[in-house]
Structure 1
Amino acid sequence: MSFGPQLPLGQRIPDSVHAVSVSIPTLEDVVGYEERRPATMAKLKSGYPRFIKHEYLLQIEERWKELFDRPDHSIWLTSSERVARELEAYLSHPKTKYLAHGGVSGLSYPPDTTLDLLAKRYLQHIGGHLSTRHAEDYLVAQKALPSRFLEESFEGDAAAKVLDHLAPLYKVSSPESIALAYTGMSAIYAAFRAVNDVQVPKGRRSWIKLGWLYTDTMHILDKLSPENSDNLSVYQVLNLEQLETTLKQRPDDFAGLITECPTNPLIQTPDLERIRELATKYGFYLILDPTINSPANVDVSPYADIITNSLTKYAGNQGDTILGATAVLDRCPEKEAILAKIHQYSEAPYPRDLQRLAAQIDGYAALIAKTNASTRKVVEYLKAHPAIKRVYWAHQPCSKTQYEAIARSPEAVGGVISFELKGELKTFHDRVRLPKGPSFGMQSSLLSPFIWLAHYELTTNQEGLAYLAAAGIPKDLIRFSIGAEPAEEIIAALAEAL
């Protein structure tokens, strides 16, 4: 078996200063990470960028406290001046101060733990933190770092190369119908704001969450929806009765519906044909996110008005770039107005991030082919193992027909699965010698106790556990992103732990 000893807590995945994942090898480490225990956090120099402040950002914050004579102030570094100003407006506090130096923007204020939490969550939800490469360039320019991290970077028109890869996947009429974004959440937030600008004047200010959405997508809808909105959450994507009943009762209320195809982490595919009919009938925008299995595997263009996609996954298959994209389909009502608004609201990618993505996007198709083939073998192994209670994947019987309607080929099963154990989580999780950490869709396999890592607070009280049960999500569900390693070696690592 090629998988060696457990990766130590805090090791970057991959071994790059710009890595988007980090090793969190034991369940106790996961709890320490979620509870921000000092002993755990001291070993983390990086993590998924929206959740852990990178060491480069921390260095700049310390320099700015001295530079701006704010030794005890909180400082938040943002992707742009606009995001810093929007954060300032969101906090609405008289002592916030916009800061800028060397092409970097941020916001400061006196010590205030309430503001700290609000600022942290706002920037996390909208994907507005400063890029690590932008921070690196600033520190090099200030002679605080000797040089950039050595990595391959595309030297031509990076945007054109990336758009040439994406346009056929989204099936847009031209690359101009795609807006590249600083992060995946920036892309989603831009689409959300654009739809609101068109729909709120018509009295449509509420949103529909279909399925268990990515945590920050849910937070955008929950916290940043227009005033007097009354959003609808439908967690059971295979039963549209609640959705149809509510639409009949409130036919003119909803601005849009967001869902993931398939869903994360249950890998279920809703009936998109029926949802498309409802969107047309009731006048709401249908925003579809195919990231979990990749738009290279599924084609949602026959149904979507807008496609949102995290390019951090699969396109950025080395696991060291944070970008996103939003595509507006020709069927989209008021397409030109929506597209203009999305371009207006999208935070443009930092040039070096885009160049790094362009340098690795040629490996996109190969990773998809490799993980599709390996997934079938891993699923067959797990389904036959007596220690496994259930496997969730694209071809699970409950939604196989709906998935096949959007799959680009019979082989296109995707690289992410989830599974339940019959026994306890901790023993298996701590034993398995596979990389364990956040994110998915990269060359390296990544295993995670999904709810513990993404929604830990729900595991700590009865109300949270009831919420999970209502959504049909087991607390100890394991999500597994299958990488480019040989399937036989992945299966051997699972077998050893089971």
Structure 2
Amino acid sequence: MLQALGGSLPPNTDHVCTASPPAVCPSMDSLHKKSARTWAFLDGMESLTYEKAVSASLPTWRSNIGYEEGEDWVMSKMECGYPRFFVHPLIQKLVQEVVRRVGDQALETATLFSSLKTARICHSFIVPKIPAEQSHKVRIVNFIPSHTEARSTTITTFLSCVIYPKEYASVAKQVWQHSGNGISSRRSEFCFRALEDGFLVEEKASATAESIAQRPCKGPRRYQGRGALNGVTRGSAHSVSGDSPSERNGVDDGRDYSQFIEERFGRNLSPMLADQAKLAIRRRIAGVLTADMELPEALETTSSEARVSGTSEDDVFLFPSGMSSIFNTHQILMNVRGPMNSICFGFPYTDTLKILQKWGPGCLFYGHGSSEDLDDLETRLKNGERFLALFTEAPSNPLLKTPDLVRIRSLADQYGFAIVVDETISNFLNINVLRHADIVVSSLTKIFSGDSNVMGGSAVLNPHGPLYQRLKESFEREYEDLVWAEDAIFLERNSRDFITRIDKINATSEVITAMLKESPLVKEVYYPSYSPTRPLYDRLRNPNGGYGGLFSVTFHSIAESIAFYDTLEVMKGPSLGTNFTLSSPYALLAHYSELDWAKSFDVDPNLVRVSVGLEDVSDLRSRVQRALDAVEKAKE
């Protein structure tokens, strides 16, 4: 949901939207009774905190600039924001508790992960970037489960904390933002209570985190991630040393771990569902579930249909965020093929390029993603240059251009690099890119979930790709399941009507983009069906596929862009793919410090990006028309 700015949340309120006052979005309450419970407005109105939201309300052009400039009138009201850019208050609270226990609260802070492996990535990123004499102050402290549990099913977690001097927080923040591997707000809430109650304790010499992770567990081997305890564990518990919580902590509080779990989750959200939820999600992503269905049906139903023949849920790997799927795919590719330069083809979402530049030996960037760029790449390949992989989006964000995947596949087959395609913008129901890729990644936070209250990501291997066997072996060996049990349950629930939502959003988007395309007030509409690369998109399009729910629009002056954005009566904030229409001045938010650079790749600094939701099409047309009327007045 959109995150409100300021205040506190009523008990047991889990999903809420915020935007402008109710009169601005009159249909939203009826559309999302389960989601939209309260409204907030940045400029002066009372606002509330919505604990699991994954976006933030920035309803005016001025408020977006204020956010980027760090102005107090915005920042003082923001209690949360997009999770990879704004550390959630529940995570901040856990950081404070961790540092209170094992650090110096006056001088130190921490970044939290759910496995030792991901914490080490953060540690190794920070140390070379700070003075050598300060490197010893950057350290990892692990917290591990202390309980013994006799019941058949329980839930456990591992917490690995990178602690460092506060002045290096901006360095650590890069890892949090780019890698997407940080813990979720739901996991942090669980960990905080587990620390308080003595069921999560600092690691002692008697058992290392790696030895804990290597103890056998029943259940799918591939979802018992090395270095992490992240969900439902069947069979005997992961006892640290055989002692009870009271023996380990010198306190007998008269409670057992089963009671603790019941209090944390309640009967309405059983942690026992986590494995089943993950299986259902993987089946949906593999394409073997071809209709909306509840969890029991998803577990029982399979189809011979899939993205490509032979694809199954065993080729799908889940991650805690879309960026985590990209980051870890890049890491695994380097393990398979060795450190080599990568290619970033087309103007990408900002963090993808940062990952390729900051981890590994480097990146060749083709920001236009044009046929001329492919000509240059082919020349380099013929002259002996070799690359790890080509990363691209289909279509791209925010210009909605489609790469020539057929030609890219031909070059990859000839010269031996991998192809990684991010399908987040259009999704696999609209286009089939897996047949041309080695790995397809996606942010499940977006349209797959829709409710905007949980993060997630996926990577799918092409079983017919030339690198499939080596990739499958490496994923099985290196993959960690970092998806928190409760997040998986919410993600599965949200995605049950994924197919129906896509159809409606496709249809509405075509109507709205046609309306804008016909207006003389509009300079340009960026949408796959209007793009010069439409033939490339159509080559990928499924028989019943559409052109997706995301488009961008530009006007003839900054005043006109501001008038359109400020007047458009929809939710305002980062993210996309939400069940409600969501708008943002994308270039300002993603590239505020590098607008000229973005402009050199045809990204207009005053571009407005719109993600279409489930509103009635006539209602949304009326809102867009009122925004266009404001543009007319600004022009005059």
The one of 551, 556, 564 equivalent to 1:428 is: 564
Structure 2 residues without counterparts, runs of 5 or longer: 1-22, 29-38, 128-134, 145-157, 198-262, 288-305, 629-636
For residues 452 and 624 of structure 2, the distance between their equivalents in structure 1, rounded to whole angstroms, comes to: 22
Conserved 8 A contact 2:400-2:531: no
Structure 1: where are the runs of 5+ without partners? 460-464
Within 1, Cα distance between the matches of 2:48 and 2:437? 34
Specify the alignment match of 2:525 in structure 1: 391
Q: Does the CA-based 8 Å contact 2:438-2:467 persist in structure 1?
A: no
The code of the aligned residue for 1:412 comes to G
For CA contacts below 8 A with separation 6 or more, give which structure has more relative contact order: 1
User: Does the CA contact (< 8 Å) of 1:20 and 1:47 recur in 2?
Assistant: yes
Alignment size in residue pairs: 483
Counterpart CA distance in 2 for 1:62 and 1:193 is 30
1:46-445 superposed matches below 5 A: 46-72=80-106, 73-92=108-127, 93-101=135-143, 103-112=158-167, 115-141=168-194, 156=273, 157-168=276-287, 170-171=307-308, 173-200=311-338, 205-226=340-361, 229=362, 231-239=363-371, 240-249=374-383, 251-343=384-476, 344-409=478-543, 412-423=546-557, 424=559, 425-445=561-581
Contact 1:441 1:483 in 2 (8 A): yes
Q: Which residue of 1 aligns with 2:219?
A: none
The SS at the match of 2:458 is strand
Between the aligned partners of 2:448 and 2:266, the Cα distance in structure 1 is: 21
TM-superposed deviation, 1:87: 1.2
| Cα separation, partners in 2 of 1:338 and 1:50, compared to 1, 3 Å | same
Q: In the alignment, what sits opposite 2:69?
A: 35
Q: 1:221-253: CA deviations, max 9, x gaps?
A: 111123xx4x3111222323222233223x342
Letter paired with 1:299: N
- Conserved? CA contact 2:586–2:607, under 8 Å: yes
**Cα distance, 1:214 vs structure 2:** 1.4
What are the superposed Cα offsets for residues 148-196 of structure 1, whole Å, 9 maximum, x if unpaired?
7999779641111111111126435221111111211111112111221
Letter of the structure 1 residue corresponding to residue 367 of structure 2: Y
Rate the CA distance shift 1:321–1:372 in 2: closer, same or farther, 3 A.
Answer: same
Q: CA 1:400–1:224 in structure 2 vs 1: closer, same or farther (change >3 Å)?
A: same
Identity over aligned residues, as a percent? 28
Query: What SS class does the counterpart of residue 67 from structure 1 fall into?
Result: helix
Q: What is the DSSP-based 3-state SS (H/G/I as helix, E as strand, rest coil) of the residue aligned with 1:89?
A: helix
Partner secondary structure for residue 74 of structure 1: strand
Query: Aligned in 2, Cα 1:12/1:405: closer, same or farther, shift over 3 Å?
Result: farther
Q: In the superposition, relative to structure 1, how do residues 211 and 50 fare at CA in structure 2: closer, same or farther (>3 Å)?
A: same
Instruction: Provide closer, same or farther for how the CA distance between residues 196 and 66 of structure 1 changes in structure 2, counting only shifts above 3 A.
Output: closer
Per the TM alignment, residue 379 of structure 1 is displaced from its structure 2 partner at its CA by 0.8
Distance between the aligned counterparts of 1:19 and 1:444, measured in 2? Answer: 13
Q: Distance in 2 between matches of 1:154 and 1:13?
A: 32
Shift of 1:377: 0.6
Which runs of structure 2 are paired with 1:447-466 in the superposition (5 Å)?
Answer: 447-459=583-595, 465=596
1:212 Cα deviation from its structure 2 partner: 0.9
**Residues 45-89 of structure 1: CA distance to partner in whole angstroms, max 9, x if unpaired?**
221100001010111122223222511212112232321222112
Instruction: Name the SS of the counterpart of 1:136 in structure 2.
Output: helix
RMSD across aligned C-alpha pairs, in angstroms? 2.7
Q: Which amino acid aligns with 2:326?
A: I
**Shift in alpha-carbon separation, 1:365–1:150, aligned structure 2, 3 A:** farther
Higher CA-based Rg? 2
Q: Which residue of 1 aligns with 2:150?
A: none
State yes or no: 1:20 paired with 2:152: no
The residue aligned with 2:228 is none
1:8 to 11, 25, 41: 41
Give the letter aligned to residue 105 of structure 1. S
> Does structure 2 retain, via aligned residues, the 8 Å contact 1:65–1:71?
yes
**Does residue 1:496 correspond to 2:626, yes or no?**
yes
**Corresponding residue SS for 1:274:** helix
